[in-house]
Structure 1
Amino acid sequence: MSVALLIVAIVAAYLLGSIPSSVWYGIGYFGIDVRKHGSGNAGATNTFRVLGKRAGTVVMLIDVLKGWTATCLASMLFYMNEIGETELLMYKIIFGIIAIIGHIFPIFVNFKGGKGIATLLGMVLAIHPELASVCITIFILTLIASQYVSLSSILATLAFPVLSWTGAFGHPEPLLVVFGFTMFVLVVFTHQKNIVRLLNGNENRVNIFAKKARS
């Protein structure tokens, strides 16, 4: 693959990840900048909290699509015969991680974005949909039981490399396992404040099934 094409793909992945869906959607449809309300985070969770479940769902789906599309850039290069089958997983991981970095540090809103969970979900859906489905189930069940999005995100992210490592979905792929644990470390890093609040018992609860209160 040419260096120029690789650079174009990397830039495209970053720009896809950088799309600040919560900010643009909130301002465009509600006249509200979610960064000035709730937790102040530019992500789907805070959108649920500030604008309600419909807006939160839209933002979450867009963020998932960002990660999925960026990761699938590798598949496009594969079908263009620019990369081989043995390189496909590596490039999927590279482009997906770049999209997550774009979401966390988006160029369009002064490099202050969300925590990248929905974008990570889109990425793993593109890489391993079966395993991603199990992680989604773990997330939902934890959220229903605890109403903590942060805890649900951390446990679901941890489940990905653990299940990959144990061979629950076939022969363990070392690159996938390393990627999974790396993403877990990243999620823990971006949720440091949430973890402190969880340990102190004052983390914000989010009931995404409840109707947004009208002022």
Structure 2
Amino acid sequence: MTRSHIPRRVPRPLGAATVLAAALLLAGCGGSSSPGGDTAAGKDDVASLQTASAPAAGDESPASGAPAPSTAPGQGRPQLRLDMTDAETQVYWEGYWKCLKEHGHKMILQRGPYSVDQNDNSPTAKAAEKACAGKMPLQPPETERETNPDFDEDYRAYVTCLNDGGLHVTALPGNTGWNFTGTNTMSDEKMADLDLSCKVKSFGGGHG
């Protein structure tokens, strides 16, 4: 299974479990449909460092109690934090997916009420993406190559940490994700905990 680091159109978890969302691990080898980018998609075998959609700037935090991310300067979009769990970020991504659905973007209902069909490139879908742009969360800056000059070093440390923790994986070329190198026997819960711990340690300056 391939894990993609922070997808551009759909957010997913890093570990194989319940999107690296993920958000982090939502289910099986994929995350909830979305992203991590500009549109969402249904569950599949791609996962990411985890992200989830949030209410637009000014909206109240979800009733679930998930901590509200900060607002990206000058953009009004929710800025996810490095230490947010899959469950916390998923709440915010679902806010974005729900907005897309309400604006007419096609969904893959067999995969869930907010499983966005990323193959929908209709004028309605494009209008929905534009209308909901302010609700789409931004990945933690530490996990973005554009905003982290040490991204490659941090990503290598992240993959090493996963392996040290018992999740046998290897990084893809360009540090765009990772693949399992053998059969995974780790539980979803343990994988999610390991992923979050390694993400915070590696991208938060705790390695070296």
TM-score range, shorter chain: under 0.3
What TM-score do the two structures reach when normalised by structure 2?
0.25
Structure with the larger strand share: 2
What TM-score do the two structures reach when normalised by structure 1?
0.25
Structure with the larger helix share: 1
